[in-house]
A and B are shown apart, each in its own frame.
Chain A
């Protein structure tokens, strides 16, 4: 989660220069701890690269865009997993973001004061549920509902889109996306609430004083001010969705293929690693799985980089519009 760097308290900054011995010791200790984080990340990368090396030698760069996964004949490609990871995460964000922002607005702007702690407690409980429980719920409750009700309805209404074609089997990209949406909802909502709390009351009051309705005040004053933070919240949720393993593997269908339809079964990067790592046969298979780990690592780094740029850009934009 990218945080604006300029909110560091001034005292912490000044401790860096000179100061007394205690400060310097403290500073050195913190530096060590900070460095340890980098060292751990570096070690993870090195170790992954080491395990992945046999696969890299055998498969080359083509591994990244090959659409094949056959452990028996030793043909491995990352594409179906990358596709599944991105598609399910995109579905999750598309479903979770509007609900989260609505919930956050309700809790911080509109809802009755007494209801707020109850709803925010419920959201925190959602965050505390283990992912395997989400997976079981998905398999036994969500999948039948999707198969018998949601998917036939979607196919009738929007069946002309390739996204909603094919037999409704329940398991697949859509089920995984919906589960992920529920799982990232608490994160996105609570961060959005915090963001909305930073909106100065004077902004709301000013727009109300100018004759705006509640909704207009939210739309024209509150949301533009919080835009950067909301984008950050969405990306934080996306980060969680990309890495989620257990719940996804239980409902995605675990089939390494690429389909345009959200109804079709697919596979994701963390799911295949968790599934096949323990019993991988041969160092190329093991290496290919480690390489998938590197790919996931790469996607996360790219995403975080993009998030920082995006938040900065949006922050500039909202500062301008708030002026």
Chain B
């Protein structure tokens, strides 16, 4: 009696585990809404495959895949030399693009900024909205006679990394004084936690300027400044302009590239990939193959789900290159048979 009970219990516990494959991942918070959508949609196609994703931040994602506690990681910034040394056999698979935009709290519609102006504002060199330098690029617009209050992220974040990486490229003074990083020493301004914190500061402070992710700004209908790109064109932030950024940068085979300040007339200058990190040789046959097939799906069918959630899809040229990268992933040394490229 007792034995049969235990046997029944064991079967009840073992059955779902045998029928279902669970793939664990952890990392960046920025793509989390899209990834959960992907996992849910993919689960409809492959009911015996489930994903569990913890959005703990890029740094945590890199750490967890390095320690082998998850099957894939996710990060907004490519791994640095120190991190690569600890996890040599990892591939960066770009999934979508994100952009960072400058939001402001002024009555000005259609505010335009040049890279030099943006850097000078965040350096504390330009401190008033009616500064002649701002007036020069905004001819015909009425600028308020108020002081500029700078708002930035106080928490370490990929958004800050992309933004400061851009400023360091376009302003030698920024590069020398501040540099690029997930947390930096801001010359001026107030810090808010998260996109919502920065938005709160900007909304609460007349004359404030801050930076947030494009997706967040779109969803909350914040007023964004147009920015002059490398080709000298003033571009308004949009998903198309973000995708165009990835086409304007020579793409290395490992995708570890900064997309900020790209060339291209329509490119938004502050854009970046977000990546999934997977080990080049998968040890678990079932999980490994499932993961490879999912990645293939994500860069093809999955891309159609990106725009409705305010993520910029990968441009076709990059998808072709990512296909090659996915084909190099092996499961216990053997490649996975994938459908021909579409």
Contacts and interface: CB of A to CB of B under 8 A. Distances in A.
B197 A250 contact: yes
A166 to B, nearest CB: 12
B199 to A, nearest CB: 11
Interface stretch (B52-60, B109-117, B300-308): B52-60
Interface residues of B, number: 33
Given A249-B154, A278-B155, A278-B156, A72 B189 contact: no
A276 B156 contact: yes
Given A279-B57, A282-B82, A249 B193 contact: yes
B156 A255 contact: no
Nearest to B158: A279
Contacts of B158: 279
Given A72-B185, A73-B179, A167-B147, A140 B200 contact: yes
Interface string B173-202: 000001111111110011111000100110
A280 interface: yes
B204 A170 contact: yes
A267 B192 CA distance: 11
Given A140-B204, A278-B56, A72 B191 contact: no
A253 B155 contact: no
A200 B71 CA distance: 67
B205 interface: yes
Interface centre among A144, A169, A254, by most B CB within 10 Å?
A254
Given A276-B156, A280-B59, A255 B189 contact: yes
Given A143-B204, A144-B204, A279 B59 contact: yes
Nearest to B184: A72
Interface string A46-72: 000000000000000000000011111
Contacts of A79: none
A254 B181 contact: no
Interface centre among B58, B60, B156, B180, by most A CB within 10 Å?
B156
A275 B155 CA distance: 4
A267 B193 CA distance: 12
Contacts of A250: 192-193, 197, 200
B66 interface: no
Nearest to B157: A279
Given A169-B205, A250-B193, A278 B154 contact: no
B179 A279 contact: no
A69 B185 contact: yes
Interface string A160-175: 0000000101110000
Nearest to B194: A275
A140 B200 CA distance: 8
Given A71-B183, A72-B180, A255-B186, A139 B155 contact: no
Contacts of B205: 147, 169-171
A281 interface: yes
B282 interface: no
B191 A253 contact: yes
B149 interface: yes
Interface centre among B191, B193, B197, by most A CB within 10 Å?
B191
Contacts of A170: 204-205
A168 to B, nearest CB: 11
Contact of A169 (B179, B182, B190): B190
27 contacts: A70-B184, A71-B156, A72-B180, A72-B181, A72-B184, A72-B185, A73-B185, A139-B200, A140-B200, A144-B204, A170-B205, A249-B154, A250-B197, A253-B191, A255-B186, A255-B191, A265-B190, A274-B155, A274-B193, A275-B193, A276-B156, A279-B155, A279-B157, A279-B158, A280-B183, A281-B182, A285-B183
Given A70-B184, A276-B183, 18 more contacts: A69-B185, A72-B178, A139-B201, A140-B204, A147-B205, A170-B204, A250-B192, A255-B189, A267-B191, A275-B155, A275-B191, A278-B57, A278-B59, A279-B155, A279-B156, A281-B80, A281-B181, A281-B182
Interface of B: 56-60, 80, 82, 147, 149, 154-158, 178-186, 189-193, 197, 200-201, 204-205
Interface of A: 68-73, 139-140, 143-144, 147, 167, 169-171, 249-250, 253-256, 265, 267, 271, 274-282, 285
* 3 nearest A-B pairs in the assembled complex, by CB-CB distance: A254-B191, A279-B156, A254-B154
